Amino acid sequence: MQKKKDTLEKKKCYTYMVRCSDHSLYTGWTNDLEQRIAAHNSGQGAKYTKSRRPVTLVYYEVFEAKQDAMRREYAIKQLTKKEKEKLVAYHHLSSIAT
């Protein structure tokens, strides 16, 4: 019965930022945050991060719908580097509840 319940639960979506080895920030969205970060670090993630490994998760937000996560990803990508850095600093991961 538990297995059926798990499959019925809606999967969460995430908008995230990682800091690359060259100190740049990469923004993306996923429905499996741990797997996506592992993919970036194994060279199977985005083309941008492939040559900038390792990456470190520095920011994320949780959404119920894929469209909301994608919308937020787009909004973050429109920010300047300075604005992104403020967002990361203000929402330091140690203060984000998972």
Find the domain containing 89 and state its range: 11-95
User: Is-contact 2 19, C-beta < 8 A?
Assistant: no
8 pLDDT higher than 60: no
- What is the reported pLDDT for 2? 52
Decide if 45 is inside a domain: yes
Decide if 81 is inside a domain.
yes
- Domain for residue 4, yes or no? no
Residue 1 lies in a domain: no
The answer to the question of residue 34 being in a domain is yes
Please check whether residue 2 lies inside any domain of the structure: no
Q: What is the DSSP string of 26-86?
A: EEEEES-HHHHHHHHHHT-S-HHHHTS-S-EEEEEEEESSHHHHHHHHHHHHTS-HHHHHH
Domains held by the chain: number: 1
Instruction: Classify residue 54: in a domain, yes or no.
Output: yes
Asked, for residue 80, whether it belongs to a domain, the answer is: yes
- Indicate the pTM of the whole model: 0.84
Residues making up the chain, counted from first to last: 98
34's tokens: 């741990």
pLDDT single digits (tens) 20-62 = 999 999 999 999 999 999 999 999 999 999 999 999 999 999 9
CATH number at residue 32: 3.40.1440.10
Tell me the per-residue pLDDT of 84-96, one tens digit each, with 9 for 90 and over.
Answer: 999 999 987 754 4
Q: What is the pLDDT of residue 76?
A: 98
Is the pLDDT at 18 greater than 50? The verdict is yes
